[in-house]
């Protein structure tokens, strides 16, 4: 009887872990920017350029925006430049840029060395009031480097998560079956 109870604990934990995998959700986070002054934002940018958004692709974490760069205003920027933004919308400071839009993009290098931007970075389309002030604050433009930066997106997709959840569920069910059999034998 004691052995059955000892085995019941790991089985219950396995079932609970399966529930966490299937039912976990990230909490919503509000985006609050420290400043919206174009000159100050331009001063803090690792990378700045004027370009046209040509395409977008995404994974669970980020959206990779591909720009055709016209002018480089700061940092090392390629003619075809990917910029990543959070893929959770405005709640996580993500952006929704429209392909075909000419923009000044202000970014930083993230922990993986990618050019990253968000709602608080100061990027703005050519028709926005902050566009001219931002471009002027960055100084003389230069030509982009040849080639393209290519951001690797996370290959993990929903199917991988479902397979992992199914595996946890199967292990939990097997654990419950073992506990049930041990309980019957000890009775």
The structure's pTM equals: 0.66
User: In this structure, what is the dihedral angle of CA atoms 80, 81, 82, 86, given to the nearest 10 degrees?
Assistant: -140
Residue ranges of domains in the chain: 2-25+157-186, 38-148
At the top level of CATH, which class does the domain 38-148 belong to?
Answer: mainly beta
Beta strands per DSSP E along the chain: 47-58, 62-74, 78-86, 102-109, 115-116, 124-125, 145-148
Q: Going residue by residue through the chain, which has 187 residues, state the pLDDT in tens, using 9 for 90 and above.
A: 555 455 555 554 454 455 444 444 444 446 788 888 999 999 999 999 999 999 999 998 999 999 999 999 999 999 999 999 998 766 678 888 999 999 999 999 999 999 999 999 999 999 999 999 999 999 999 999 999 998 888 765 555 666 667 778 888 778 788 778 777 777 6
């Amino acid at each position: 009887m004691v052995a059955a109870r000892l085995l019941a604990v790991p089985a219950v934990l396995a079932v609970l872990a399966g529930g966490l995998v299937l039912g976990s959700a990230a909490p919503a986070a509000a985006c609050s920017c420290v400043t919206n002054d174009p000159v100050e934002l331009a001063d803090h940018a690792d990378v700045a350029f004027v370009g046209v958004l040509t395409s977008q692709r995404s994974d669970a974490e980020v959206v990779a925006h591909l720009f055709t760069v016209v002018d480089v205003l700061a940092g090392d920027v390629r003619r075809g430049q990917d910029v990543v933004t959070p893929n959770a919308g405005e709640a996580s400071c993500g952006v929704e840029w429209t392909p075909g839009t000419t923009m000044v993009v202000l970014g930083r290098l993230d922990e993986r060395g990618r050019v990253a931007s968000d709602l608080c970075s100061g990027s703005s389309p050519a028709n926005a009031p902050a566009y001219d002030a931002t471009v002027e604050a960055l100084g003389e433009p230069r030509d982009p480097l040849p080639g393209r930066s290519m951001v690797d997106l996370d290959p993990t997709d929903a199917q991988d998560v479902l397979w992992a959840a199914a595996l946890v569920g199967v292990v939990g069910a097997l654990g419950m079956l073992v506990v049930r059999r041990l309980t019957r034998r000890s009775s």
